[in-house]
Amino acid sequence: MSAQSLPVVLFGAFDRHNFGDMLFPHVVARMLAGRDVRFAGLVPRDLRPHGGHRVQALRQWHERAVDLLHVGGEILTCDACDAAVMLQPDHDAQRIIASQQHDRSAWAQHVLDTRELAPYVVSKDAWPRAGRVLFNAIGGVTLDDCDLTMRDEVLAKLARADDVSVRDIHTQALLAKSGIEARLAPDCAVMVAELFGDAIRAHAATQAVARIREAAPRGYLAVQFSADFGDDATLDRIAAQLDHAAHAHDLAIVFFRAGAAPWHDDLSCFARTAARMRARSVHLFDSLNIWDICALLAHSRGYIGSSLHGRIVAIAHALPRINLLHDEDFVRPCKQTAFAQTWEDADQPVAARVNGIAEGIDSALSVDPARLKHTAARLVALCREGFQTTVSVLTR
C-alpha cells in the first residue's frame, strides 16, 4: 500500500459529548474528501444519536499501517486523569473521583489502558507502522502550568511529529520556546457554516429548534455556561444581568448545553438561573445533537457563554458573541481569549465577567454586521489555506 493510500485515522476527544470536539471530525473528514478516513478516540463510543460518530478505540489501529491526524482541541493540556473522568457517565463521575482520590493515576491508566500522561497526544515513536503523525490546529494555552513530566512528554511527542499546527499565538509561543516550530491555523470549526450549511438549515426545522424560534419571534440570545459557574450567588448575578440584557434588547433568553460530559455544562444550572429571572421569555433548549445546537446558534441574535466553540460557531455564522469568563481568566491566558486575540479584530469584544454580562452583550450587539461577515469569510479562507499544508504532508 502506498503512503498516499493509507487510511487516515482521525483522532481526538470526540469520544465524549463536547460540542467542539464532536464537530472536528466532521469538518476534517469533509476537507479530506477522497481519503479513507476512520474515527478514533481513547475508548469506543457511539455518539451518532447526538450527531457525532461511532468512535473506535485508537489502540486497535496500533499494528496497522495508517496516517494519524489529531483533529484539534485543547489536547496538549488534557491529562490522563481528567480524560478518564470525562469519559465516565455523568452520574458516576463524582463517585469515581471520590473513590479514587488517593490513586487517580492508577485508576486512569486502568480505564484508558495506557500509561501515557497526555493520552490525546500520540507519539510517532509509539506507532512503528504509522505513515505520518500530524496535529491540526491544536491548543495548549496552559501547557507551562502542567506537571513538568507531562509537559516534557507532550513536547517530545510534538518534536517527532510530521506536521504541527496550533490555533492560537500563545500555544505557538510556548512551543517555540522549546524549539518546536508550529504553524498557525484557525480552529477548523470556523468551517461549519461553509461546509454544513444545508445540514444546519435542515436542523433549524426540527422540533427542538423550531419550538424555540416560534416561542421567540423577536429573536433570542443563545446562552451557555459551564457548571463551575453554578453556585447560588453566581446564578443570582447571572440571572439579573440576563434580565437586564433581555429587557434592553427585547430578546428572549435560550439556555443550551455545549457539552454533557462531566465537568462541562449542567442543565440544572440553567433551570436554576431561569427560575431566578423575571424576563418574560426564557427557555431551556434540551437537545444535545450538535447540528441542533449549530442551528440554534445560527438563528440566534448572538451568543454569550463560556464555550470556545459557542464563540467559534457564532463567528462562522457572522453573529455577535462574547465569552463569559471567571475573574482569574482575565489575568492569565485562556483558550477563549487566546483564540480571539489571534484571529479576530483587535477591538472585537472578547469576554465579560459575571457582573459585566449585560454590558458585554451591549458591546457585542453593537459590532457592525459587515465586520462580522468579513471575519467569518477571512477565517474560512485561512483555514482552507492552512489545511492545504496538512493535505500536502499527507500526500507527499
Burial class (CB in 10 A: 0-12, 13-18, 19+), 116: buried
State mean pLDDT over 116-125: 94
137-165 residue pLDDT tens? 999 999 999 999 999 999 999 999 999 99
Contact 311, 375 (CB under 8 A): no
pTM for this entry: 0.95
Q: How far is CA 74 from the centre of its chain?
A: 8
Contact 255, 274 (CB under 8 A): yes
pLDDT at site 1: 45
- DSSP β-bridge partners for residue 227: none
Closest to 307 measured CA to CA, from 371, 272, 257, 271: 257
Which strands make up the sheet holding 133-138, listed edge to edge?
A: 45-46, 54-57, 37-41, 8-11, 67-70, 133-138, 163-166, 183-184
pLDDT at site 94: 67
For the chain, the average pLDDT equals: 94
Question: Considering Cα of 268, then 361, then 218, then 202, what sign does the dihedral take?
Answer: negative
Q: Looking at the predicted structure, is the pLDDT value of residue 68 above 50?
A: yes
The CA distance from 100 to 104, in Å, is: 5
185-197 residue pLDDT tens? 999 999 999 999 9
Distances (CA, A) of 52 to 10, 24, 308, 312: 13, 10, 18, 18
160-191 residue pLDDT tens? 999 999 999 999 999 999 999 999 999 999 99
360-393 residue pLDDT tens? 999 999 999 999 999 999 999 999 999 999 999 9
Contact 187, 339 (CB under 8 A): yes
Domain boundaries, the chain: 3-185, 191-379
Strands 45-46 and 54-57: antiparallel
Contact 164, 180 (CB under 8 A): yes
Q: Looking at the predicted structure, is the pLDDT value of residue 275 above 80?
A: yes
Q: How many CB atoms lie within 10 A of CB 363?
A: 17
Strands 321-324 and 37-41: unpaired
Q: How far is CA 239 from the centre of its chain?
A: 25
Q: Looking at the predicted structure, is the pLDDT value of residue 63 above 90?
A: no
Closest to 58 measured CA to CA, from 122, 4, 125: 122
Instruction: Spell out the alpha helix ranges (H) of the chain.
Output: 19-31, 80-86, 90-99, 104-112, 148-159, 169-177, 192-203, 207-215, 232-249, 267-276, 290-298, 308-316, 335-343, 357-365, 369-395
Q: What is the CATH code of the structural domain delimited by 191-379?
A: 3.40.50.2000
